[in-house]
Chains A and B, each alone.
Chain A
Amino acid sequence: MKTDSAPQGATSYYEARKKVYPREIKGRFQRLRTLAVFALLGLYYVLPWVKWGDRQALLFDLPARKFYIFNLTFWPQDFYLLAGLLIISAVSLFFVTALAGRLWCGYACPQTVWTEVFLWMEHWTEGDRRQRMKLDKAPWGRDKILRKTSKQFLWITFSIWTGFTFVGFFTPITELGARLMTLELGPWETFWVIFYSFATYGNAGYMREQVCKYMCPYARFQSAMFDRDTLVISYDTQRGETRGSRKRGTDHKAKGLGDCIDCTLCVQVCPTGIDIRDGLQIDCIACAACIDACDEVMDKVGYPRGLVRYTTEHALQNTQTRVLRPRVLIYASLLLALLVGFGYAISSRTPLLLDIIRDRNALYRMTNHGLIENVYTLKVMNMDTRAHRYSLEVSGLAGIHLDLDDKDILVESGEVATLAARVRVPENGMTGSGATITLTLQALDQADLKIVEPARFIGPAPGR
């Protein structure tokens, strides 16, 4: 996807893309973004190393098909919880977007966050915007080779560390690290480390905010959540126009000029290459770089800050901004309901599962004693964090009796026990050819840890 290296003039279908040289900027919002980078990437790089007891606190153990999140263990059967979590994330995003616009894009999206770090590395090795432009135009020499190699070294090292950490969420990271040191990574571990490293390198090093412009679905549909009371970054046209340069100390109002001195700094700092003064645009990722740039200039020329600022369309039109409006209230109540439901589902979740599989070879069997026998294979899954002993009982038909090979059902934490269960019913205990029986699995050491599952019991057709 690197289109900037396509040869010009040759029969290339790729238009030579002009490189993006965002200018560095300091200011309150950039400090906030830096803070977000440290917080989010800190979580990403540190979390896999955190221990909980004798295992990794956060581990999505795909080979074992179990997810560990602190003291909880999730099984494939808990998938509905993961689905719920994804829905909650989506509604949160809608809620935040309706209220405060594209905060996600500017401060929290992995694309922006990793791009930011890659820009820092570029800045350390190649210098500021002017120096980078000059360096790219300069012929290859010692300085250029040195700077470019250092940049690539930092980028690649950081990418590989990122890919390694990613795999560390799915394979115990300390063992993974040990295997990496001795070059004994499994083929798929190696593949995913390289895959994720390459994606990080390409996305954050080269594609950057082009991803937001051309690839991100959220960027396209977020405008559906917007209204005139949503927080956006905007240029105050009334105050700024007519823009134009002026000599220091001149009374610009007398000359018919607005507060915008047309220094184009807001354009130079923009990572997506737009001019915020053209109005609200879909390309704007709300990174607030233009606010910081403009505030700095306003300070210098002695005008009040906020020519470009966080505001709403209503505020710009000098009307009241309403924070609590139907859109926001609907998203908020939906989110609240989902969170309550999710919390309830987690807290009331029984860490025990019973799968009942009927013997497929024979529907039923008549024993020597004139009893109808059905055979089931039972799978007892202990999803709790400690071992349990269970008792199994069967009910639903007169004279029903359960026969197990081993009455002592002990299942270790995170294990599955397979039992063969023979259920017998006297012939006069059944009225039809089939009935529903109930199996109750009860932990012996914990009264509220039990599960009740129905099963089908088949007998001979009546009248025989």
Chain B
Amino acid sequence: MGQTPSNDNPELEPNGKPWSQRAQDIAAVAWPSFLTGSVATMLFFAFIDPLVLQDATFPGWDLSRMTGYALGFFFFWGIAASSSALSIFLTRSGTPVTRD
């Protein structure tokens, strides 16, 4: 971060302050999983029609294609987010590597 000489005039202060660790963690979980979830949704539904999938899973339900896409997207986003969250948890809670 750029540290300019602190000044009494607030106008001369640089913009912003770093995010807290927690905020950075949330961002690092939510955003990449959103991206990968979107790609997974695209790949999956390019090959599978939600209506065909519904016939094979819950034929009794009345779901539209749009509902299928939306559920699929949130499913993939959720799965990716839980994986990211676990990774962060594991790297944060493990024994730190010490080097001499």
Binding site for B on A (CB under 8 A): 1, 3, 13-15, 17-22, 62-63, 65, 76, 79, 82, 129-130, 133, 186, 188-189, 191-192, 209-211, 213-217, 264, 267-268, 270-278, 281, 283
Distance between Cα atoms of A341 and B3 in the complex (Å): 49
Contacting residue for B46 out of A17, A76, A133, A189, CB 8 A:
A76
Distance between Cα atoms of A275 and B11 in the complex (Å): 15
> Is the Cβ of A274 less than 8 Å from the Cβ of B46?
no
> Is the Cβ of A281 less than 8 Å from the Cβ of B2?
yes
Contacting residue for B66 out of A186, A264, A268, CB 8 A:
A186
Known contacts: A217-B32, A217-B35, A267-B4. The answer to whether A275 contacts B14 by CB under 8 A is yes
> Is the Cβ of A15 less than 8 Å from the Cβ of B15?
no
> Is the Cβ of A274 less than 8 Å from the Cβ of B2?
yes
Distance between Cα atoms of A65 and B49 in the complex (Å): 8
Interface residues of B in 1-24 (CB under 8 A from A): 1-4, 7, 10-12, 14-17, 19-20, 22-24
Known contacts: A79-B46, A264-B12, A281-B2. The answer to whether A63 contacts B19 by CB under 8 A is no
> Is the Cβ of A21 less than 8 Å from the Cβ of B27?
no
Which residues of A sit under 8 angstroms from B46, Cβ to Cβ?
Answer: 76, 79, 82
> Is the Cβ of A133 less than 8 Å from the Cβ of B15?
no
Binding site for A on B (CB under 8 A): 1-4, 7, 10-12, 14-17, 19-20, 22-24, 26-28, 30-32, 35, 42, 45-47, 49, 64-67, 69-70
Which residues of B sit under 8 angstroms from A211, Cβ to Cβ?
Answer: 27, 31
> Is the Cβ of A275 less than 8 Å from the Cβ of B65?
no
> Is the Cβ of A13 less than 8 Å from the Cβ of B20?
yes
> Is the Cβ of B19 less than 8 Å from the Cβ of A17?
yes
Min Cβ gap B75→A in Å is 15
Contacting residue for B12 out of A15, A216, A268, CB 8 A:
A268
Query: With contacts A17-B23, A18-B17 known, what are 6 further pairs, Cβ within 8 A?
Result: A19-B16, A20-B16, A62-B65, A82-B42, A272-B15, A275-B2
- The residue in chain B whose Cβ has the minimal distance to the Cβ of A65 is B49
> Is the Cβ of B1 less than 8 Å from the Cβ of A188?
no
Distance between Cα atoms of A387 and B45 in the complex (Å): 27
> Is the Cβ of A17 less than 8 Å from the Cβ of B22?
no
> Is the Cβ of A15 less than 8 Å from the Cβ of B69?
no
Known contacts: A14-B22, A214-B27, A215-B28. The answer to whether A63 contacts B66 by CB under 8 A is yes
Known contacts: A18-B17, A76-B46. The answer to whether A62 contacts B66 by CB under 8 A is yes
> Is the Cβ of A275 less than 8 Å from the Cβ of B4?
yes
Known contacts: A1-B26, A133-B10. The answer to whether A17 contacts B2 by CB under 8 A is no
> Is the Cβ of B2 less than 8 Å from the Cβ of A65?
no
> Is the Cβ of A274 less than 8 Å from the Cβ of B1?
yes
Which residues of A sit under 8 angstroms from B49, Cβ to Cβ?
Answer: 65, 76
- The residue in chain B whose Cβ has the minimal distance to the Cβ of A2 is B23
Which residues of A sit under 8 angstroms from B3, Cβ to Cβ?
Answer: 275, 278
Which residues of B sit under 8 angstroms from A189, Cβ to Cβ?
Answer: 66
Which residues of A sit under 8 angstroms from B64, Cβ to Cβ?
Answer: 63, 188
Min Cβ gap B45→A in Å is 8
> Is the Cβ of A273 less than 8 Å from the Cβ of B31?
no
> Is the Cβ of B15 less than 8 Å from the Cβ of A20?
yes
Which residues of A sit under 8 angstroms from B23, Cβ to Cβ?
Answer: 1, 3, 14-15, 17, 214
Known contacts: A15-B23, A63-B66. The answer to whether A214 contacts B16 by CB under 8 A is no
> Is the Cβ of B1 less than 8 Å from the Cβ of A273?
yes
Known contacts: A264-B4, A281-B2. The answer to whether A13 contacts B22 by CB under 8 A is yes
Distance between Cα atoms of A79 and B45 in the complex (Å): 10
> Is the Cβ of A210 less than 8 Å from the Cβ of B47?
no
Distance between Cα atoms of A21 and B16 in the complex (Å): 8
> Is the Cβ of B31 less than 8 Å from the Cβ of A215?
yes
For the complex of A and B, 3 pairs with smallest distance between CB atoms = A275-B2, A273-B15, A15-B20
Which residues of B sit under 8 angstroms from A264, Cβ to Cβ?
Answer: 4, 7, 12
Name the residue among B7, B10, B14, B35 with the largest chain A CB count within 10 angstroms.
B14
